[in-house]
Structure formats: C-alpha cells, structure tokens
Structure 1
Amino acid sequence: MSCFKLPKGLIKELDKFWWGYSDDNRKIHWVKWEKLCEAKEVGGLGFKEIEKFNDALLAKQVWHMINNLDSLCHHVFKARFFLDCSILEAKDSIVGSYAWKSILSARDVIRKEMFWRIRNGESVRIKRDKWLPAQSSRSVISLIPQMATDSKVSEFIDHDSAE
C-alpha cells in the first residue's frame, strides 16, 4: 500500500470482507463503521479507511522524496520523470510506471496542506508559492504589477536588519 495505489475494486472487496456483506447477503452491523475506525484509545477498534490509508502511505513516499534528496528512490524517479524540477512540479506521465503514477496520485495530499517556511526567502516565489500564514489560500492573490512571476521573497527581506 505504500508503493502502489490500490484499485477501487480491490478497496471495495476489502471493505466487503471487513464489513461482512455481499451483494445479496447482508449481515447485521452491531456498530457503525465510524466507531470501528476510531482509535483504540477512545473505544474504537482502530480500523483504517483503506483508501485514505493508502493515500497517506503514498503521500509519505512523496514526503520522503522531497526531504531525502540523496535517497535511491529519489534519484531513480528524478532521473526518469522530473529531471529539471522537483517532484511537486513534475508533469503527469502516461508512459510512467504504475509505481510512479501511484506516487503522483498522492502528491496532491502533500500539496493541499504544504506551505513554505521562508528562512532566507531565496527559494520561495512571491506569486506562485504558498507561503503566507493565512489559512485561506496561503499565496499572494493581489496584483503586483512591476514584479516578475518568479520573483523571490528574499527581495523583500532586509538582510542587514533581518526584517
């Protein structure tokens, strides 16, 4: 599950197995599925929603490739699929392996909640990256007319006074 996106049909069959029904024969459900999926600490059985768990494990692979640039996995996929950019900017590939397509499917899980930490601002683009602390969009939405699209946040930082 951490390497491949499970097909929807398989997820449905696994849910049927755990939940105990078939198309023509339903069993009695003594407890709601939501209760089964709650953590054991709060009285649930700790079941995982298989599709979300699969997405989380694949997103973990994306996170490792973002943070471990020296890993073999990163080197192999970078050489084949995103040679001149990061995994977050890699284009979808119709000729890619199932493992690569699976990893790309989870990339949006990371993108959705990820935002930049500014530090020196050298790698954060003012207009294109999510870097603002507000929860709504985290990116600049107002017009900045005299600035190039790839201008960096570091252009606004006074490095002498660190402001």
Structure 2
Amino acid sequence: MMKINFLNLAGRTVLAKATLNNILSHVMQYISIPFRTTYSINKIQRDFSWGTSTEERKIHLIGWDTITRNNGAWGLGIQKCEVRNKALHAALEWRTLKSSNNLWSRVLTSKNLKHVNLTNNIRVVSRTWKNIQKGWCECKKASCLVVHKSDEISFIKDTWIPPSPSP
C-alpha cells in the first residue's frame, strides 16, 4: 500500500482527480448511486486529500464545500460524487436527444417509449430510462426552446422566463 505521507496536498489532489473521480464514471452514467455510497466515496476522497489513513487521522483544515469548488473559485476542483452523477445523467439525456439515430438511442427509445415524446413524463420501464429522465430534469433547467411553428411548444405550459440566478 502506498504511503500517503510521500505525497503533498497537490499530489494527492491530482491523484484523487485522476482516479477517485473517474472510477465510477461509466456506472454513474446509467445508475443513480445511493446516498450512502456517494457519502462513502466523498469521505474516501476527503480523507485521501488530507492524508488521513487508518493509522493516522489528520485535521481537515478547509471545508469540503470549499475544496469541491472549481479552481477559479479558490477550490481544488475535486467533484462531489452526487453532483457528478447528476451531470452524467444530464449528458446522457442530451446525447439521447441530439443523436437519436444512434443504435443505443434507438434501442432505448423503442424499448421504453411507445409513440410518446421523449420530454413527457411517462411511466418508465428500465432504470436506465429513469436516470435519463432525471437527466432531462437537469437539462430542462438550463435549456430553452426555439420558437417556430411547431406542436411541441405550449404557450401556457412552457417556461418563457428563465429563473433568476441564485446569489
């Protein structure tokens, strides 16, 4: 086992970003990771970043919320597991919407949809499709509609004014 003391904070940060953030990326695209699991992964990242091991506990000098900020916002850029999970669901939804002629997209939509629009709330069949719908909720927050002659646009139901940014 590698000694944590041989690495400084910068080295541990690079190693945490390269390994711990990316280990579950493939699985997290298709499955929602439970809260306890994300908490455990975040704890492993936290402890590793500060050099805490089973033999020696170290003081965490900066809060986890500060560490998980982007580099430009005085953070170290380590991603929280639950935020990464939501982002991967949103990316999968976006790819499903934009590349509907791919084989995997056609298989998923034909299996889970029977002549229903992708953006409607419907009863889902597979877990993967549920997570794609969760991704749609995230995509919907940051997307807008192009107004043209179409049956997909509803003057009453659609959001026309985006929510104000939170401080």
Q: Give the TM-score of the pair, scaled to structure 1.
A: 0.67
- 3-state secondary structure, aligned to 2:156: coil
- CA shift, 1:56, in A, is 0.8
Distance 2:80 2:29 in 1: 14
- Which is richer in helix? 2
Residue matched to 1:129: 158
Q: Which has the larger radius of gyration?
A: 1
Query: Distance between the aligned counterparts of 1:99 and 1:121, measured in 2?
Result: 29
Separation in 1, partners of 2:158, 2:115: 18
Gaps of 5+ in 1: 138-163
Task: Return the offset for 1:10.
Answer: 1.0
Q: Secondary structure at the match of 1:61?
A: helix
Residues 112 and 126 of structure 2 are in contact (CA less than 8 Å); yes or no, is this contact kept in structure 1?
A: no
| Helix, strand or coil at the partner of 2:42 | helix
Q: In 1, distance between residues paired with 2:79 and 2:146? A: 31
Give percent identity, aligned residues only: 21
Which residue number in structure 2 is paired with residue 142 of structure 1?
Answer: none
Aligned to 1:92: 123
Distance of 2:45 and 2:79 partners within structure 1: 11
Matched, 1:5 2:32: yes
Aligned residues: 131
How far 1:136 sits from its partner (Å)?
5.0
2:103 to 54, 72, 78: 72
Counterpart CA distance in 2 for 1:125 and 1:74 is 26
Distance 2:114 2:96 in 1: 13
Amino acid at match of 1:18: Q
Q: Kindly indicate whether the alpha-carbon contact (under 8 Å) linking 2:31 and 2:128 is maintained by their aligned counterparts in 1.
A: yes
50-59 vs 34-43, which moves further: 34-43
CA–CA distance in structure 2, aligned partners of residues 123 and 105 of structure 1: 20
Kindly report the root-mean-square deviation, in angstroms, between the aligned alpha carbons of the 2 structures. Answer: 2.6
Aligned to 1:104: 133
What is the CA–CA distance in structure 2 between the aligned matches of 1:102 and 1:123, rounded to whole Å?
Answer: 23
- The CA distance in 1 between the partners of 2:142 and 2:157, in whole Å, is 15
- Distance between the aligned counterparts of 1:115 and 1:108, measured in 2? 13
Q: Which blocks of at least 5 consecutive residues in structure 2 are unaligned?
A: 1-27
1:79 partner letter: S
